[in-house]
Structure 1
Amino acid sequence: MSKMSELSLAIRELKRCGETLIAISDSLDGLFSNNEDSPSANRQIADTPELKENPITLEAVRAVLAEKSRVGHTAEIRELLEKHGAGKLSEIDPSKYPVLLAEAEVLGNG
C-alpha cells in the first residue's frame, strides 16, 4: 500500500474517531448537566443516536473507479483490481472495499 493510501485511511479513521468522541462528550454533557434522577437525564441517554460506521458499498466504489477511469487511469484501476486478486470489481471481497477505495482515490493526485 502506498504512503498516500495509508495516509488517506488514517485520516478517515481519525475523523471517525473524532465524531465518536464528540457524540460521547455530548451525551456525557447532557447526562451530568441534568439531575441524575430526573426523567430528562434518562431520556437524554435513550435519545442519543447510535453511531454506526456506514459500510462502503459496491456502488460507491464503482462510482469512484468509473470517474478515475474517465480521467485516464483505467490501467491503474486494472492493476488495483489484480492486486486485490480480481479481474473485475464484483469479484472483490466487500471487506476490501475501504482499502481499494483509498488506493483509488489517490490516483492522479501526485
Structure 2
Amino acid sequence: MKEETLVKVSGEMETCGKALLKLAEALRAKEETLAPEPQKNEPGSTKLTLEEVRKVAADKARQGFTEEVRNLIHRYGAEKLSGLDAAKYEAFLKDLEVMGHAG
C-alpha cells in the first residue's frame, strides 16, 4: 500500500474510532436514564431479589445447614427456592440469618 493510502486509511480509522466512542458514551448515558429505580417497600429499604435470597441460602447450605434450608423452604410453602413467593423473601431471609445461632 502506498504511504498516501495508509495515511488516508489511518485518518478514516481514527474518525471511525471517535464516532464509536461517541456512540458508546451516548448508549451509556441512555442506559443510565432508562435504568429502573429500585422499588421501595418502606422508606430506606428495597425489594429483595431471588438472587440475594439464593446467595444467603447457599451460604447456609455450605455451612452445613442444607437440610434446615430445605425444610425452611417447605415451611414457606414452596418445593424449591425459585418457587418461593417474593412477598415472603424478607421473612425467609430473616429466618435464614438466624439459622445456626443458639437461642
Query: What is the root-mean-square deviation of aligned Cα atoms in Å?
Result: 1.6
- Spell out the pairing of 1:25-104 with structure 2 (5 A cutoff): 51-104=43-96
Output the TM-score relative to the length of structure 2.
0.56
Q: 5+ unaligned residues in a row in structure 1: which ranges?
A: 1-50
Q: 5+ unaligned residues in a row in structure 2: which ranges?
A: 1-42
State the alpha-carbon separation in 1 of the partners of residues 59 and 90 from structure 2.
Answer: 17
1:82 CA displacement: 0.4
Could you say which structure has the greater relative contact order, defined with CA pairs below 8 angstroms and 6 or more residues apart?
1
State the alpha-carbon separation in 2 of the partners of residues 53 and 63 from structure 1.
Answer: 18
User: Number of residue pairs matched?
Assistant: 61
Flag as ranges the 4+ runs of structure 1 deviating above 4 A. Answer: none
Larger Rg: 2
